[in-house]
Amino acid sequence: MARMKFICDAERCIECNGCVTACKNENEVPWGVNRRRVVTLNDGVPGEKSISVACMHCSDAPCMAVCPVNCFYRTEEGVVLHDKDVCIGCGYCSYACPFGAPQFPSNGTFGLRGKMDKCTFCAGGPEKHGSQAEFEKYGRNRLAEGKLPACAEMCSTKALLAGDGDMVADILRTRVIQRGKGAEVWGWGTAYGNAKNGAKS
Amino acid sequence: MKTRMMVLSAAAAALLLAACGEKSQGLRGASGVAAPAYNGTGVASFTSPGWKAGDAQSWSQELRARGQYGQNEYTRITHK
């Protein structure tokens, strides 16, 4: 069974924000919530690097560990999802996440914090796949349509890779061999662990 | 007559108090509630062709092929 992973190739990302736009459009993400963002390191300095950041669907997800109501679950495909009917919007996951993935929409006049929203790897939620309820709460379920996440499929330079861990690692390995540099994958060790820290496949 | 009045008032009381019920506040987790993605959405117009809903192997193959074709341009380049 596939284990879905994201990789952002910092050597290729041109900070076009196409992934952010694709995500917002595909999932009709509400105003004020960005499931995916592009972060630029050393902005303005020659050699600056940009990376596209969203939920990395960690192998050992800290958000799952700290959630007081146990609203998170992991699908068979290794995607970390949450149930908005169970979430109480406490924000603990937001403090635990090393990638700043959990987002909280502001509701009403006084900006009350709503239930958590995050990248779903375009895999919907616990509602019936392809249902209107699922779309309204979690966005499109592209994975159940046999497609990869919109952000990765829309990426113009193919900096953002998504799919089965073996496949994306294989693609990146080919690139690194061809160009002779840029093997450092931002966030890989944190999200998926490494051999020293007992990595899961 | 008296019995009928009692029955009617009991029914009225049950109707009026129906809104006083409380939803369960018991803790329920979300584990294991989602169906696997390879089951498909059932919406043919949005589903990618090339795999069969319910067949995990074909779904996995379709995603792998889609990922390789769409994300790995080195498969389309002839190296000299």
Instruction: Show the domains of chain A with their CATH numbers.
Output: 4-197 (3.30.70.20)
pLDDT value of position B65: 93
Q: Calculate how close chain A gets to B67, using CA atoms only, in Å.
A: 6
Nearest CA of chain B to the CA of A158: how many Å?
6
**8 Å CB contact of B64 and A2:** yes
DSSP code, position A109:
T
Q: How far is A200 from chain B (nearest CA, A)?
A: 19
Average pLDDT (A49-69) is: 94
In this prediction, residue A189 has a pLDDT band, given cuts at 50, 70 and 90, of confident
Q: Which chain A positions have a beta carbon within 8 Å of B27's beta carbon?
A: 69-70
Using DSSP, state whether A168 is helix, strand or coil. Answer: helix
ipTM of the prediction greater than 0.95, yes or no: no
Tokens of A120: 């779903």
pLDDT-derived band at B29, boundaries 50, 70, 90: low
User: Is the pLDDT score of A186 beyond 90?
Assistant: no
Kindly report the pTM of this predicted structure: 0.85
Do residues A143 and A123 make contact, with C-beta atoms less than 8 angstroms apart? Answer: yes
Nearest to A70 among B30, B46, B71 (CB): B30
Q: Nearest 5°: CA angle at A49, between A96 and A150?
A: 65
B26 CB near a chain A CB, below 8 Å?
no
pLDDT band at A201 (very low <50, low <70, confident <90, very high): very low
For the cut 80, the answer to whether the pLDDT of residue A194 exceeds it is: no
Determine contact, residues A62/A55, Cβ cutoff 8 Å: no
Tens digits of per-residue pLDDT, A77-128? 999 999 998 999 999 999 999 999 999 988 777 777 889 999 999 999 999 9
